[in-house]
Structure 1
């Protein structure tokens, strides 16, 4: 496993991050523990979760699963860069979601309890809150950092101008600011190349792509669509499959000619992209984890990268050159 800094932070993370969204609702707890064991053995240090994962309102099922894994062997905690996210609804009443100072404090305390830890290494704002000012958000986060409950702050699903605004306010308070952004990025979804990736590079922010297989579209083999589970079986993903069927068929043939699994190629492509720190993989099974792990050893030539760009053209580079003279 290779390692790199998370943006301009001194924090070092593995080039692959373990996403845990499937733990609980899809992957049984015992299997999830086995995947985490193997990830640690393989040198994966970045573990990514969220308070809403598990999809039972307010219960934080996935965080609890990780917490019980730490409890089995407390030495595991110091080997992991633990990242979680907050924003989504954790109750039905007021102030149980979004990014008010009240909810930020409550969400952090509850995540600490479920995870069985005294700190969150990377607390990520799971979505943009247009009703709360960055002054309020940073004030709440500054207190958590001062208390030692949060070490670093990241964002997720933020547009470039949100990221830049956040950094401006952080600097006015003499804070480090955001050290990472987590957005969807894959061969099929390259919108972040327009502005998000350039903003992250300009501000020294690490970029953590999620959904690197586009909900499984870049991994589901021909004839296996009906057997897809998880995100690959969602109606939205199946509609996207129909829309991109010809392109995906050409891609899978290209991978077959190369003698490589499509999912392995898709992850390797991401690892070759400038500004990418660590793709977040979301294995459902140990076999899927092993397949993803092998992508770190796949080197693509410049010619192969050019051919993939032809199959899956991006937006044309960074803005404004991508759409203006």
Structure 2
């Protein structure tokens, strides 16, 4: 396993991040515990979760599953760089969502209890809060740091100008600010190349891509469809039809390279500028193994150019619109 610094921080994390959103609703607890054990055994030390994970009827369920896993001992917590998130609504009470100082305090304490730990390595804002000033947010974060409850701050789903706004407000307070940003990023969805990645690189923020296989569309979906293994419905089916020709060309090219499509998609992300660790969210041990396999795939310049031809990006960003 390779490790890298998370943004400009001194924190070292694995080049893959274990996403846990499926734990509970899709993956039963015993299997989730086995997946986390296997992830650590393979060298993955970076785990991501959120307070709302678990489904609308059981928000917090995923954190509880992770907490019981930590409770087994064996230095599971000590070997984990733990990231969780707040923002989403946890109850119908008016102050239990978003990024007010009150919700930061309450949500953090609730996550710590569910996770059975006394600190969070990376506490992330699941979305930008347009109604809470950054001075209030950073003051609440600074208090939590002083209390020893969190070590670093991260964001998720921020625009480039949100990152700039957050970092400039932090700089005025002589505070580190954000060390990471989670954004959707994959061969099919490359919008963050326009401004988010350039802003993150300027401010020393590590990018942690979520949905690296675009919900499975980059994981060999046409082959699985042909073999009767998988049938898509709803929005996923619409997206597949919109991009069917591209995905067919992509799967054929992955075959030419001698790799599985999902391996190529992850390998491509790992070779993009500013990327710290794609988030992989396995439902099974087999899916975890497939993600780890991608670490051994290296794409040469010709392969990268071919992929850019299939899925065009924004190579002149952040001035893309002007060239």
TM-score between both structures, scaled by the size of structure 2: 0.96
Q: Cα–Cα, structure 1 residues 57 and 149, in superposed 2: closer, same or farther, change >3 Å?
A: farther
Please report how far the alpha carbon of residue 139 of structure 1 lies from its aligned counterpart in structure 2 after TM superposition.
1.0
Q: Cα–Cα, structure 1 residues 86 and 212, in superposed 2: closer, same or farther, change >3 Å?
A: same
Give yes or no for the alignment of 1:265 onto 2:243: no
Please report how far the alpha carbon of residue 241 of structure 1 lies from its aligned counterpart in structure 2 after TM superposition.
1.0
Which stretch has the larger CA shift, 58-67 or 266-275?
A: 58-67
Aligned to 1:120: 120
Question: How far apart, CA to CA, are the structure 2 residues paired with 1:227 and 1:119?
Answer: 42
1:207-222 to structure 2, matched below 5 A, reads 207-222=207-222
Question: How far apart, CA to CA, are the structure 2 residues paired with 1:18 and 1:223?
Answer: 26
How far does the alpha carbon of each residue in 1:98-123 deviate from its partner, in whole angstroms, 9 at most, with x for none?
Answer: 11111111110000000000000000
Which stretch has the larger CA shift, 52-61 or 260-269?
A: 52-61
Give yes or no for the alignment of 1:8 onto 2:12: no
Aligned to 1:323: 321
Contact 1:58–1:91 (CA<8 Å) still a contact in 2?
no
Aligned to 1:156: 156
Give yes or no for the alignment of 1:170 onto 2:170: yes
Contact 1:218–1:266 (CA<8 Å) still a contact in 2?
yes
1:272-291 to structure 2, matched below 5 A, reads 272-291=271-290
1:170-209 to structure 2, matched below 5 A, reads 170-209=170-209
Q: Cα–Cα, structure 1 residues 88 and 57, in superposed 2: closer, same or farther, change >3 Å?
A: farther
Please report how far the alpha carbon of residue 316 of structure 1 lies from its aligned counterpart in structure 2 after TM superposition.
3.7
Which SS does the other structure have where 1:76 is aligned? Answer: coil
Which stretch has the larger CA shift, 217-226 or 277-286?
A: 217-226
Aligned to 2:237: 238
Q: Cα–Cα, structure 1 residues 235 and 293, in superposed 2: closer, same or farther, change >3 Å?
A: same
Q: Cα–Cα, structure 1 residues 223 and 297, in superposed 2: closer, same or farther, change >3 Å?
A: closer
Aligned to 2:302: 303
Contact 1:57–1:90 (CA<8 Å) still a contact in 2?
no
Which SS does the other structure have where 2:248 is aligned? Answer: helix
Question: How far apart, CA to CA, are the structure 1 residues paired with 2:299 and 2:284?
Answer: 26
Contact 1:52–1:89 (CA<8 Å) still a contact in 2?
yes
Contact 1:58–1:89 (CA<8 Å) still a contact in 2?
no
Please report how far the alpha carbon of residue 175 of structure 1 lies from its aligned counterpart in structure 2 after TM superposition.
0.7
Aligned to 1:21: 21
Question: How far apart, CA to CA, are the structure 2 residues paired with 1:125 and 1:108?
Answer: 11
Question: How far apart, CA to CA, are the structure 2 residues paired with 1:108 and 1:57?
Answer: 20
Which runs of 5 or more structure 2 residues have no equivalent in the other structure? none
Which SS does the other structure have where 1:218 is aligned? Answer: coil
- Report how many residues are paired: 321
Aligned to 1:43: 43
Which SS does the other structure have where 1:122 is aligned? Answer: strand
Please report how far the alpha carbon of residue 236 of structure 1 lies from its aligned counterpart in structure 2 after TM superposition.
2.2
Question: How far apart, CA to CA, are the structure 2 residues paired with 1:235 and 1:142?
Answer: 43
Please report how far the alpha carbon of residue 227 of structure 1 lies from its aligned counterpart in structure 2 after TM superposition.
4.8
1:131-142 to structure 2, matched below 5 A, reads 131-142=131-142
Question: How far apart, CA to CA, are the structure 2 residues paired with 1:145 and 1:74?
Answer: 26
How far does the alpha carbon of each residue in 1:139-174 deviate from its partner, in whole angstroms, 9 at most, with x for none?
Answer: 111110110101000000000100011011111111
Q: Cα–Cα, structure 1 residues 272 and 223, in superposed 2: closer, same or farther, change >3 Å?
A: closer
Q: Cα–Cα, structure 1 residues 47 and 293, in superposed 2: closer, same or farther, change >3 Å?
A: same
Question: How far apart, CA to CA, are the structure 1 residues paired with 2:81 and 2:25?
Answer: 23
